[in-house]
Homo-oligomer: A and B are copies of this chain.
Amino acid sequence: MKTISSLGEFGLLEALGLFKPLSGEGWLGPGDDCALFPAPKGQIAVTTDLLVEEVHFRLSTTPPRDLGYKALAASISDLASMGAAPLACTISLALPGDLPLSFAEEFYAGLRECSEKYSCALAGGDTSSSGKVFISVTAFGSVDSGKAFLRSGAKPGDDLWLSGATGESAGGFYCLEKGIAHAGPAKKLIERHLRPEPRLSLSLGLASEGLANSMIDVSDGVFIDASHLAERSNAVIRIDKPSVPLTPELLEVKRLTGKDPFALALGGGEDYELLFTAPKENRAKIKKTGENTGTAVTLIGEVEESAKKGRVRLLSGAGVEIEPPLRGFEHFEG
């Protein structure tokens, strides 16, 4: 079997032909000390995400092609949550020398698939040997000046919206941990975990009309991420439990893994849905943007007038404040 180490430390990128030449006016790479791309108008958004084996993923449950796809999808979701259109990305990848060469090939195939799907050009990177897999992705996007969605813009009276549905990624994670076969409802849950899709077209649609006041992507769980909006906006956000969407597949998670579906919907992470607040008068336009981009959008709460700022209130169907079921999705370690 041909392994990573058989290529030598500096041979990986060349051997695999992984970085294809950039094309387009003003784009240049690879082959120089930097890649070049034309500066857009407005502002540039930049985000960096780090993924470490045994902290953020296990090789035993994560196919390398999915790992490459998800590594970039998570960063594109960060761009989406600001209303920024992807431009380019770079990747640092450290791999154990005893991994088969096909691991690197599959990883880059997944990365490239995501890069092409979301028009986020793979502009460069660096590789090294290491004891564990280590992935760092940096992604750049463009946004009109002053038009980025921030966490700090939520205003009293705003609706609280959620794209798609949450909890499925965490459900898929627990299915993988329990070794449940990729079939039936578990198949969809596992796919949501391994192949998350950033809600980019929804975000860009909302951005083009300036429809949202604040936005975040759900990486740590709806409750935790709503708390980030509340804290940064110095607001109180109410989540209405009966409004939180639970998919048929998520409802199966109790039987499959013993986990409570609502707990995962509110506390599970890595769904990469968008959680945002918007003025009530934008309701019809937001629903229309959801339809136009093929993305479900659900009203799940409101930004409240309150003297006690910076927190999230979860209300039962009877309108009684209840404890959130989870304090967020935890990684394997510590």
Measuring CB to CB, which residues of chain A are less than 8 angstroms from any residue of chain B? 5, 8-9, 26, 28, 31-52, 55-56, 77-79, 81-82, 84, 88, 90-94, 97, 123-132, 134, 136, 138, 140-143, 145, 148, 150-152, 216-217, 232, 331, 333-334
Contacts and interface: CB of A to CB of B under 8 A. Distances in A.
B138 A90 contact: yes
A250 to B, nearest CB: 25
Given A9-B55, A39-B142, A46-B124, A78 B34 contact: yes
A97 B140 contact: no
A75 B265 CA distance: 41
Contacts of A127: 50
Nearest to A138: B138
A45 B151 CA distance: 29
12 contacts: A9-B331, A26-B43, A26-B145, A34-B46, A34-B78, A36-B43, A36-B45, A39-B41, A48-B91, A48-B124, A50-B92, A51-B128
B52 A128 contact: yes
Nearest to A79: B34
A196 to B, nearest CB: 15
Given A48-B125, A131-B132, A138-B48, A92 B90 contact: no
A128 B56 contact: yes
Contacts of A97: 334
